[in-house]
Amino acid sequence: MGQSQTKRTVPEKRIILGVTGGIAAYKAAELARLLIQQGIGVQVAMTEAATRFITPLAMQALTGHPVLVNQWDAADNGMAHIGASRAADAIVIAPATADFIAKLAHGLAGDLLSALCLARDCPLLLAPAMNKQMWENPATQRNIAQLLADSATVLGPCSGAQACGEEGMGRMLEAEELAREVMAFLQVGGPVGERSPTPTLPPERRELNGVKILVTAGPTYEAIDAVRGITNRSSGKMGYAVVQAALEMGAEVTLVSGPTALDKPPGARTVDVTSAAEMFEAVKQRAADADIFVGVAAVADYRAAQPSTQKIKKGDGKLTLELLPNPDILAYVAGLPKPPFCVGFAAESEKLHEHAAAKRAAKKIPLLAANLAQQAIGADENELILFDDAGEHLLPRADKLAQARALLRHTAKLYRQGNLR
Ligand code: PMT
């Protein structure tokens, strides 16, 4: 997501990012940045060796917190190895070198980071990074097996070009992939506002594991002439948050996005479109293959009847523009012979309940999320009211990712119930 979305409010979840001494340490900076961008509080702890690859100052500047390195620091009464992990929801070691993995497997605690891991009362995630021979060495494999048996989660490694010039298994996962795994591990949210008590679901137990979700997001742009057009102020934040939440919950996600300034969500297939007609075409091609369709896009209801390929010259008199209605994408998908489970949005500027309920009935969809347009559009936070067969459910104002998670948990519940019927 774009840098503009970075916010330093009180984080819902916190991790300790442990950095050990390998060339992949530079990727830890990007990992920290991505996690912070998604609202995770990050405290970095580094081994002495890691400080040779990336400076504590760089990590401090990124996270806003002094980096823990020295176990003999007087701060925290020399108890940083206890204090820091008590405030964390997980410790993520990225990169985890062969040496550090060996220390963990044997319960050694001779430096601050290994002491933190030994004294922890939260889950441990490791992203191994090493030369392929080191990775394949029976000693490393024994240590990894031991850590898995001790309930650590091992993320990667993957195969590829290595810093030493060799090729093979041992390369650390890319920062985007690790960020996604960590977010999924820290899964938060709950049905209609409740928070899940267990944030650590393995992939096969994630609520939308393998479910195919098609999402529209952002505005559409309807050209009037070569340089002018009709659009709206949708930023795409809400739709992209739905994509992110769906990925965390294990879904296979396709995003059909109107023009936005946001980065493409890593892990989703993104189809870029401009006009409502293009969005309609992209959705038509993919809807039959989707299990769930979520229409978050603010689709322009009208387009110019005869867009000019040239810039329209200014004249003295009035200019009348003829507008034609655009196809209703959501209504089309909901009307398919075998429609996916459809979730619509409604942005209203008044009479929210009345208009939203009417919209759900008119479009014949099982679930609709309503918001006040003037408070929701372009904002980082939002209040949603969900309308379904059981009535209305309020999701009190929260950041859009938290709202997206709660909406998708509710969606997953209704989708499963529908499939059981
Ligand atoms: O992008 P953000 O800045 O984060 O803002 C988020 C949002 C306000 C755009 C979002 O939360 C939202 O409300 N999206 C729906 C906006 C909208 O166009 O609502 P609507 O009431 O006009 O449309 C109702 C539903 O029909 C929507 O699911 C819409 O995607 C869909 N629709 C509308 C018109 C059309 N021609 N085709 C459609 O599929």
CATH number of 13-197: 3.40.50.1950
Other beta carbons within 10 angstroms of residue 51's beta carbon come to 17
Residues with CB under 6 A from ligand 1: 216, 234-239, 276, 295-299, 301, 326, 328-330, 344-347, 359, 371, 373, 376-378
Q: Whose CA is nearest to atom 10 of ligand 1?
A: 296
- 341 in helix, strand or coil? strand
Q: Output the pLDDT for position 4.
A: 39
Retrieve residue 167's tokens: 């090729």
Composition of the chain by helix, strand, coil, percent to 5: 35, 25, 40
Q: Which residue has the higher pLDDT, 295 or 170?
A: 295
**Token pair of 208, please?**
């939308």
- pLDDT value for 44: 97
Q: What letter would DSSP give residue 68?
A: B
> What is the predicted pLDDT for the residue at 175?
93
For the chain, the maximum distance between any two Cα atoms, rounded to a whole number of angstroms, is 84
- Given a cut of 80, whether residue 24 has pLDDT beyond it is yes
| Confidence at residue 181, expressed as pLDDT on a 0 to 100 scale | 84
Q: What residue ranges in 97-175 does DSSP mark as E strands?
A: 124-128, 153-154, 158-161, 167-171
From the CA of 296, give the closest atom in ligand 1. 14
CB atoms near residue 73 (< 10 Å): 14
- Residue 309, SS3 per DSSP: coil
Compute the distance from residue 7 Cα to the ligand 1 centre, in Å: 25
Alpha helices by DSSP H, 226-372: 237-248, 276-287, 329-334, 352-363
pLDDT for residue 199: 37
DSSP summary character for residue 98 = H
Cα 336 to Cα 332: distance, rounded to the nearest angstrom: 7
- Dihedral of alpha carbons 34, 39, 40, 43, sign: positive
Give the integer Cα–Cα distance in Å for 210 and 208: 6
Mean pLDDT of 8-30: 88
Q: Can you point out the beta strands (E) in 287-380?
A: 292-295, 302-304, 323-325, 341-348, 367-372
Is the predicted pLDDT of residue 337 greater than 80, yes or no?
yes
Tell me if 153 sits within 8 A of 8, measured CB to CB: no
What is the H or E stretch that residue 61 is in? helix 56-63
Q: Which of 330, 353, 364, 368 to mutate to test the pocket of ligand 1 (most atoms within 8 A of CB)?
A: 330
> Which pLDDT value is given to residue 6?
41
Residues 373 and 49: their CA atoms lie apart, in Å, by 52
What's the chain's average pLDDT? 88
Alpha carbon distance 75, 130 (integer Å) = 33
Evaluate whether 13-197 and 206-305+320-420 have a shared fold.
Answer: yes
Q: Which residues are catalytic?
A: 164
pLDDT (tens digit per residue) in 33-51? 999 998 999 999 999 999 9
Q: Where are the domains of the chain?
A: 13-197, 206-305+320-420
Among 161-165, 224-228, 314-318, top mean pLDDT goes to 224-228
State the amino acid at position 90 in one-letter form: A
pLDDT band for 149, please (50, 70, 90 cuts). Answer: confident
The pLDDT of residue 90 is 95
The DSSP output letter for 298 is B
Query: Could you tell which of 221, 243, 299, 324 is best to mutate to test the pocket of ligand 1, judged by most ligand atoms within 8 Å of the CB?
Result: 299
Sheet holding 367-372, edge to edge: 269-272, 252-257, 212-217, 292-295, 341-348, 367-372, 381-388, 391-399
Structural tokens at position 63: 């996270």
Distance CA 251, CA 259 (A): 24
CA pair distance 182, 361, nearest whole angstrom:
39
Examine the pLDDT at 74 and tell me if it is beyond 70: no
The per-residue pLDDT for range 338-395, each reduced to its tens digit, is: 999 999 999 999 999 999 999 999 999 999 999 999 999 999 999 999 999 989 888 8
Q: CA 372, CA 363: separation in Å to the nearest integer?
A: 19
Residue 300: pLDDT over 80: yes
User: What is the CATH number that goes with domain 206-305+320-420?
Assistant: 3.40.50.10300
